[in-house]
Chains A and B, each alone.
Chain A
Amino acid sequence: MATCLTLPRALRAAIPAGALALALAGGAGAQGTLSALQTDVDQIARRARPSVVTVFAVRTESAPKTAVAATATAPHVRTRVGSGVAVEENLILTTASVVLQAERTLVSTANGLQAEAEIVGVDPVFNLALLRVPTLRLPPLRFAQGRPARVGDWVVSLGTSYNAQPTQSLGNVAQRHREPGQWLLQLTNTVYPGNSGAAALNIRGELAGLVHGELGSPALTGTASDGERRPWGTSFAMPVETLRPVFESLKREGRVRHGYLGVTTLAASLESDREGGPSTPIGALVDGIIGGGPADRLGLRPGDLIVAYDGERVETPEQLARWVLATPPGRTVTLVWVRRDIGYNGTVVLKESPERVPQWLAGALADPQPDGPRKIAELEREIRRLSQELGRLKDQSGPPPR
């Protein structure tokens, strides 16, 4: 009987001790989890680092004319530095912004090798470039398999920055941004100058995306008073589901085939009621129609205001143009436009853009036109717009009284 009474009492005393032991064991477990996380991240980075390279794009440019020196000074060499990822033994993906207009491109590997690279293809719409390095054999990174990256997935970004030093950060997918024709992942990883073209790896060490950049304009955000750009904290990467088709197209043809609508557009906006208030962009105003193009077949006319494309609200012509270019030719899209305050919609099959790189997107490739012809073209457009407006007002007011 005494034994029966003593045992439950001992058990009661043992319960707090057991709870303490469990808490301590839990702490050790948490430490083990962190240690495992560190081990996994180290392993992913160690395996992938040899596939990440530094890209140097060199170009000679003439110095701009200044007030002091009326004539341009001697040309000097400018170097753009970014990161790149080996996706095949001698093929490297990077961003178009790194190699745009480069006369010579070189890559430097993590183990100190340097070699000349040739540009296989550049696409400014998707901001991607493919380089070939015939003299190097690189360990390629595998494109991510399985489901697309989801919000919350862990991402390890590997790139290079100043002095070609490696950079690495751990973060998550914060958001997935969708636009017609492409996706962009918003990451919590910190990225650094020179990280354009860096690798975004998933927890399996596969290439989940290619880092493009960070939030905001370099002239505004993350820039200290001395002009030095500081890490900002929100980064963006092109996910593999957008990256892979572009890579395959660049590899196969050296180019990406873009959609074509056959319109010329102007910006349209509503002015604020307040004096000096901000104007609100309201769509893409059709300025001209290319005969025989998809827009012509759809029945669009100059003066129409395109307000939606493929279910997405259009605010600016540049936005619409980007979406059209990112859509593969042959795809059927829906357009919504407004003509004399009446809404219309219709579907059309996009054609293939006749230009490899659209002229308006050619960056600083083309020399600026002289002021004269540009001014004349602007005036002609203004006259055309005023004539259309006058015609519309005349139609609304009806025939003149006798």
Chain B
Amino acid sequence: MNCGDARRLFGACWDDEITLAERDWLESHFASCAACRAEYETFARAIELVGSLPRAEVRPGLAERALARARRATAAPDRLPVGTPRWIPITATAALLAIAATMTLQWMGITPAGRMTPRTGVAAVLEPVLVRSQDARTTASTVPDDRLATVRGEADAPFAGGVPDSLFDHSADVEFILDPVTLRKGRAHTVLRLNPNVQGEKAVITF
């Protein structure tokens, strides 16, 4: 693909309508092509500017009237067809053959390269790494899953009673945090942790 291909993807990229593979390709192209990167930034600024323009008010029904006029202008003459063009049966037969061929290929397990097959060439997944050992526990750079609970449950571990090892069997001294959010009259906010001295209807708040 070249710069032209990249620029054809701009609109779809802005609308999040491209695949991850296309996005990967586009980003790698941007990394190597300053002109396209600058072009995309200009494109994005233009879209934002257009979006921020005030909307022009038009008379109601303008779209319907315009479409009706266009239909009238392009309508076929009001008369019966003289005969069936010769290309219709040929095209229909070709289309049926193409559909049959596609179905046969799918039935045989042969699919065109693309979305059905796993993508290749994606960036490698990076894993966390230890920069320098901190203590005996962190020197275990990769702890197998079956040993993880044991390592965490060591006597010197800071966790109260060790990290819980099943979904519903956990110590009361370990709390899994999921903040409550209130929703009132279409407004949502995370419940703040208030000082115990200021709770209640008589609370006095200085801000």
On A, residues with C-beta under 8 Å from B are 7-8, 11, 14, 17-18, 21-22, 24-25, 28, 32-33, 35-36, 39-40, 43-44, 46-47, 49-50, 53, 56, 58, 76-82, 86, 90, 95, 97-98, 100, 104, 106, 108-116, 124-125, 127, 134-139, 146-147, 153, 161-164, 175, 177, 179, 184, 186, 191-197, 202-205, 212-218, 228-229, 234, 236, 260-261, 263-267, 269, 287-288, 290, 317-318, 320-322, 324-325, 353, 358-366, 368-369, 374, 377-378, 381
Contacts and interface: CB of A to CB of B under 8 A. Distances in A.
Interface stretch (B52-60, B63-71, B73-81, B118-126): B118-126
B206 A361 contact: no
Interface in B178-207: 178-183, 186-198, 201-207
Contacts of B42: none
Contacts of B166: 162-163
The 3 closest A-B pairs by CB, nearest first: A213-B179, A193-B176, A139-B126
Contacts of B130: 113, 115, 135-137
Contacts of A80: 175, 177
**Residue among B106, B122, B204 with the most chain A CB within 10 A?**
B204
Contacts of A77: 158-160, 173
Contacts, number: 308
18 contacts: A11-B92, A22-B99, A32-B116, A79-B158, A97-B179, A113-B141, A115-B138, A124-B192, A137-B131, A139-B125, A194-B177, A217-B182, A264-B206, A353-B207, A359-B195, A363-B194, A363-B195, A368-B197
Contacts of A109: 128
B102 A25 contact: yes
A204 B177 contact: no
Contact of A205 (B20, B164, B194, B198): B20
Contacts of A321: 205, 207
B9 to A, nearest CB: 13
B3 interface: no
A194 B201 contact: no
A114 B138 contact: yes
Nearest to A154: B16
Given A79-B159, A137-B129, A360-B198, A95 B177 contact: yes
A320 B193 CA distance: 15
B180 A136 contact: no
B28 interface: no
Contacts of B102: 25
B163 A163 contact: yes
A136 B128 contact: yes
Contacts of A265: 204-207
A81 B160 contact: no
A170 to B, nearest CB: 15
B207 to A, nearest CB: 4
Contacts of B207: 260-261, 263, 265, 320-321, 324-325, 353, 358, 360
Contacts of B137: 114
A98 to B, nearest CB: 5
Given A39-B119, A77-B160, A213-B180, A365 B175 contact: no
Nearest to A49: B125
B38 interface: no
Given A82-B177, A104-B158, A204-B16, A361 B194 contact: yes
A288 B137 CA distance: 54
Contacts of B116: 32, 35-36
